[in-house]
Copies of this chain bind each other. A is one copy, B any other.
Amino acid sequence: MACGEFSLIARYFDRVRHSRRDVETGIGDDCALLNVPEKQTLAISVDTLVAGNHFLPDIDPADLAYKALAVNLSDLAAVGADPAWMTLALTLPDADEGWLQAFSDSLFEQLSYYDMQLIGGDTTRGPLSMTIGIHGYVPVGRAMKRDGAKPGDWIYVTGTPGDSAAGLAILQQRLAVKDREDAAYLRQRHLRPTPRLLHGQALRNLASSAIDISDGLISDLGHILHASGCGARVDLDLLPYSDAFRRHVEKEQGVRWALSGGEDYELCFTVPELNRGALDVAIGHLGVPVTCIGQMSADVDGLHFTRDGKPVTLDMKGYDHFAAH
Contacts and interface: CB of A to CB of B under 8 A. Distances in A.
Contacts of A19: none
A309 interface: no
Interface string A75-107: 110110100000101010000000000000000
Oligomeric state, in number of copies?
2
A133 B33 contact: no
A143 B24 contact: yes
A266 interface: no
The interface residues of chain A, by DSSP majority, are classed as strand
A287 interface: no
Nearest to A46: B87
Interface in A103-152: 119-122, 124-127, 129, 131, 133, 135-136, 138, 140, 143, 145-146
Contacts of A25: 143, 145
Contacts of A145: 25, 29
A324 interface: yes
Contact of A76 (B31, B79, B131): B31
A36 B3 CA distance: 36
Interface string A59-84: 00000000000000001101101000
A75 B3 CA distance: 19
A14 interface: no
B33 A42 contact: yes
B31 A81 contact: yes
A38 B38 contact: yes
Contacts of A323: 2
Interface residues of A, number: 59
A206 B51 CA distance: 47
A30 interface: yes
A41 to B, nearest CB: 5
A316 interface: no
A74 to B, nearest CB: 8
Contacts of A38: 38
Contacts of A143: 24-25, 31, 33
A24 B46 contact: no
Interface of A: 2-3, 24-25, 29-36, 38, 41-54, 75-76, 78-79, 81, 87, 89, 91, 119-122, 124-127, 129, 131, 133, 135-136, 138, 140, 143, 145-146, 211-212, 215, 219, 323-324
17 contacts: A32-B43, A33-B143, A34-B43, A34-B44, A42-B42, A44-B87, A44-B135, A45-B120, A46-B89, A48-B91, A50-B125, A51-B126, A53-B125, A89-B131, A122-B131, A126-B127, A127-B127
